Structure 1
Amino acid sequence: MQQFLIHIVSEPKVFKGWGVKEEFNLDVYSHMHYKLVTLLADHLNFTLDLSLVNDYGWRLENGSFSGLMNSLVKGEVEFTTSGALMRFDRMMAAELTVATYRVQTSAIFKQPPLSAVFNVFFLPFNFTTWIAILLLLMLFTIAIVFFFRITTMIKNIGPHSSLMMTTLDTGMLVLGAICQQGTSTIMTTTSVRMAFSVLFFTAVFLFTSYSASIVVILQTPSQSIKSIKDLADKSTTFSVLDTAHNYVYLNETKIHAVKKIYQNKIIKTKPSDAFTSAKVGMIRVQKEFHAFLVDTSVANDIIAKSWNEQEKCSLTQLNLFTLPPLTLYIAKKSGYKDSIKQQLILQDEVGLKKRIYNQFMPQKPTCDSLNKDIIIESVSLKEIFPIIAFLSCAMIVSFIIFVLELMSYNMMSIFKS
């Protein structure tokens, strides 16, 4: 009877036995490989003698290996019943069989809202439309001034009459109509009444279109982060799932943008915040402008259980690096290598491997908002900050103009006296 080895990678303390899944974590790959190996034992008619360790086995500075690989080098086990990543350095300690499953690791984050990237109050209309609206307002102003001037000339109305309107007054009246404000101006001719009617009808349609667009835009996430470089340049915080392979591959990466993320967003962060559990990391993604490097299967399980539809639709995933597939390692010069490889290939061909994968892995959450009622969330101060800033500046400018007018009036009074 040979001895075989299985290990629990992420959280050995919560391991309750084979087939018991109280909490979803990276141990799911150990459960999946255990299923494969028990089928292998039935087909090849051998008995399993299992041991548990919590380290896949990484090459140390002195050239030796830790954990799983160390047991293979010392001849303590024949082969592993838990899949480990295919790595060149591990081939010096043991031999590969066949690829079994893949661990997919991605940086998961929510895209920032459009209001954080653009001034959303200009987005409902494109540049050409804004120019057309401006020209339309000028046309209305000129037309109304023309009608008033002709009316005053025909009826001999004095320049100081209450019926007389200046060009500036007319411009303010047109702007008020666009902002859905009425007017107390006395309209004495049909042409003026007609011009005002067309102006207010046009303003209603423009205001309705603008309002409908702005409501949708305020609820829409942007797509400003499309690459790893964008993620590195943005102000988003970053954390990583606390597993050994994330430490290793972040240090070994040759991608400049990933190095920048690691050096600027991870190393400079407190270790307990930089490397954390899946639950803590996903909560930060849910509530903050935060990116979390995590195994997608673990993230999908958390999202499916605790995230609402609106939050699912704003999620984005970026692959910082591609992990090699998992494999079952076997001791050097083992006589069982060919038999085990043939049976693993057969399991893949008849669909047993895929069946086990579908049994354990959660499905990727989908955004089904198009098939459901639209959920409108309350607009926060962050979304309307540009208009608050505009109003604040306008109030300051108005106060400055008021002070200047007051000073001008006092000076004129002094000169007259």
Structure 2
Amino acid sequence: MITNNSTYDHLINYLHREVDTTTKLTYYFAVHLFEWMNATAVYKPVNSYGYLKPDGTYDGIIGELMAGTSHFSVVMFFMTKERMNAVEYVVSPSRVSVIMLFRKPSLASVTNIYSLPFHIGVWLAVMSLTFVSSVALTGSTYWEDTVKNRPRNSLMKQFTQSVYETLGGIVFQQGTSVEPQSVSSRQVVLLSLMAFMFLHTAYSANVVALLQSATDISGPEGILNSPMEYGATDIIYNHHIFKNEHRPVHRALWLKKGLPQGDKFFSTVEEGIRRVREGMYAFHVEQTAGFDEVQRTFLEHEKCNLGYFSYVSFPMPHLGVSKVSQYKELLRIGAFLLKERGVQARSSNRLVAPPPKCAAGTAFFTAVGIQDVAPAFLLLITIYSLVIVMFALEVVLHRYELKKEQNKEVRTILVSRNTQATIATP
């Protein structure tokens, strides 16, 4: 299976390992296998791994093996239920995987971090503390007015004022407009200010830490439930994997974010890794091709928040043997011997790229963007909108009250004039 003509020039020299990696890896395996068999191999290049056609036959490698025109596949392919009846799977020469590669997005870009610092129990405790502080402040100020013979408001009005003072002055640390005079009132205000000061400190510290945190996406659910986009390498098996996906989450991801992109969903390795580097993009790519491109284009600190996971659910790709080949058992024995004795391990270590290492030790400090504080701005806009609505209602109500008072005065004047006119009549 050759996707680039330059592969013919680099099958045995380990150059450009990111191009047709699996083909080069299995080619070395086939060379050692045929040497062990003392056989001469005739290689036949094809342009497809082998997929079921409408007439029930297979194209590509599977078709060659099924027809008996080839004995052994010098390329690995996924094990599927349909292919089990067409070929004999032998061995997986190396752990070559296709991965979904991405830069871990910031936690603030995926979820509302302003609700995460405290557990629901802490939020309930904060509301309870606010209520208790309001009740205590109401009782102390009401008793203070009684002792000092000052004009007192009604108990409900006093409680409403205490709630306002607690929310604005204590909870939001803006200070109170009324200075408590008694010792009990001052103690209530002091203890409440101290309690909410510690809550403010803990909340702010957690928010700052969460602003620099990254989201660890370990499956397609993370991409589906986040603003991330995704794509795949423009290679034949990716077209079949994504378009024929039937798993619920994977299918939903394809229909929501893959299918609307059309032909732009599939791209080259260079283009896909470039978009991965820009962020908020996941790319389905062969391991060596993806990691080598990352090593070539990423800065050291950009490798520190790199993430990946396996998207496909098939077992590791295996080599195949024709069911009708007279060399089937001999090929099977030789393949297992090469795998068990470590002959193939040398080629695997040179061709399969390991994950990039974070030489910087940790990711650099990330500047906070407008998207990270969007929930806070949204809350402010919501509150301002409610304030404008309440202000408009107050204006309407005030004008209604003024008009009502004016009508009342007019009626009083008219009644007074009528009364005077009646008295003046002889």
Q: TM-score range by the shorter chain?
A: 0.7 to 0.9
- 1:205 Cα deviation (Å)? 0.5
In 2, the alpha carbon distance for the partners of 1:262 and 1:58 equals 21
In 2, the alpha carbon distance for the partners of 1:44 and 1:15 equals 24
Distance 1:186 1:102, change over 3 A: closer
Distance 1:71 1:220, change over 3 A: same
SS at match of 1:315: strand
SS at match of 1:293: strand
Matches within 5 A, 1:76-155: 79-85=72-78, 97-108=90-101, 114-115=107-108, 118-155=111-148
In 2, the alpha carbon distance for the partners of 1:233 and 1:154 equals 61
| Residue equivalent to 2:262 | 270
Matches within 5 A, 1:223-234: none
1:345 aligns to 2:345 (yes or no): no
| Residue equivalent to 1:255 | 247
| Residue equivalent to 1:279 | 270
Q: 1:200 aligns with which of 184, 193, 196?
A: 193
Distance 1:38 1:14, change over 3 A: closer
TM-score normalised over the length of structure 2? 0.74
Q: Give the aligned CA root-mean-square deviation in angstroms.
A: 4.2
In 1, the alpha carbon distance for the partners of 2:243 and 2:396 equals 67
In 1, the alpha carbon distance for the partners of 2:7 and 2:325 equals 36
Q: 1:181 aligns with which of 169, 174, 191?
A: 174
Deviations 1:356-394 (A, max 9, x none): 22232122357899xx55754233322322222221122
Distance 1:49 1:411, change over 3 A: closer
Alignment check: 8 A CA contact 1:242 1:277 kept = yes
Deviations 1:171-217 (A, max 9, x none): 33322222232346434333333322222211211101111122233
Q: Which runs of 5+ in 1 are unaligned?
A: 1-6
SS at match of 1:239: strand
TM-score normalised over the length of structure 1? 0.76
Q: Which runs of 5+ in 2 are unaligned?
A: 410-426
| Residue equivalent to 2:353 | 362
In 2, the alpha carbon distance for the partners of 1:397 and 1:251 equals 47
In 1, the alpha carbon distance for the partners of 2:248 and 2:238 equals 17
In 1, the alpha carbon distance for the partners of 2:376 and 2:258 equals 35
Alignment check: 8 A CA contact 1:32 1:356 kept = yes
Deviations 1:215-274 (A, max 9, x none): 233344557x77657766777544222222223344555535444544554444321x12
Deviations 1:140-167 (A, max 9, x none): 222223222323332333459xxxx944
| Residue equivalent to 1:293 | 284
Distance 1:197 1:311, change over 3 A: farther
**Identity, % of aligned positions:** 21
Distance 1:310 1:220, change over 3 A: farther
Alignment check: 8 A CA contact 2:103 2:280 kept = yes
Alignment check: 8 A CA contact 2:21 2:288 kept = no
Distance 1:141 1:39, change over 3 A: same
Deviations 1:330-377 (A, max 9, x none): 69545x5554433322221122223322232122357899xx557542
1:246 aligns to 2:235 (yes or no): no
In 2, the alpha carbon distance for the partners of 1:128 and 1:94 equals 59
| Residue equivalent to 1:396 | 385
SS at match of 2:93: coil
**In the comparison of the two structures, how many residue pairs are matched?**
401
**Structure ID, larger Rg:** 2
Question: Which structure has the highest helix share of the two?
Answer: 2
Alignment check: 8 A CA contact 1:79 1:331 kept = no
Alignment check: 8 A CA contact 2:287 2:353 kept = no
The one-letter code matched in structure 1 to 2:196 is: A
Alignment check: 8 A CA contact 2:231 2:266 kept = yes
Q: 2:395 aligns with which of 377, 386, 406?
A: 406
In 1, the alpha carbon distance for the partners of 2:89 and 2:401 equals 96
